[in-house]
Amino acid sequence: MSAPITQHSAVAHGTPITISHLTKRFGALTALDDVSLSIDGNEFISIVGRSGCGKSTLLSIIAGLDGATEGQVDVGGEEVYAPGRDRGVVFQNATLLPWMTAQENVEFALKPSGMSRRERADTAREYLALVGLTGFEGHYASQLSGGMQQRVALARSFSYQPRILLLDEPFGALDALTRRTMQRLLTEIWEKHRLTVVLITHDVEEAVYTSDRVVVMSARPGRIRAEVPIELERPRDPHVIDSPEFRDYATEVLDLIHEGTV
Q: What is the pLDDT of residues 201-219, one digit of tens each?
A: 999 999 999 999 999 999 9
Within-domain flag for 137: yes
Kindly tell me if the per-residue pLDDT of 78 is higher than 60.
Answer: yes
CA within 13 Å, CB half, 195: 24
Within-domain flag for 99: yes
Q: What is the pLDDT of residue 260?
A: 55
Within-domain flag for 10: no
Domain count, the chain: 1
What are the pLDDT digits (tens) for 228-237? 999 999 999 9
Inter-residue contact 32 to 200 (CB < 8 Å):
no
**Range of the structural domain that residue 41 is part of:** 17-258
Strand order in the sheet with 164-168: 87-90, 164-168, 196-200, 44-48, 213-217, 224-229
Within-domain flag for 6: no
Within-domain flag for 7: no
AA letter at 217: M
Inter-residue contact 150 to 171 (CB < 8 Å):
yes
What's the rounded Cα separation, in Å, for the pair 166 and 260?
Answer: 29
AA letter at 204: V
CATH number at residue 83: 3.40.50.300
What's the rounded Cα separation, in Å, for the pair 39 and 22?
Answer: 15
Within-domain flag for 32: yes
Kindly tell me if the per-residue pLDDT of 220 is higher than 60.
Answer: yes
Q: What is the pTM of this model?
A: 0.91
Angle between helical axes of 102-110 and 146-159 (0-180°, round to 10): 20
Cα 67 from chain centre: 19
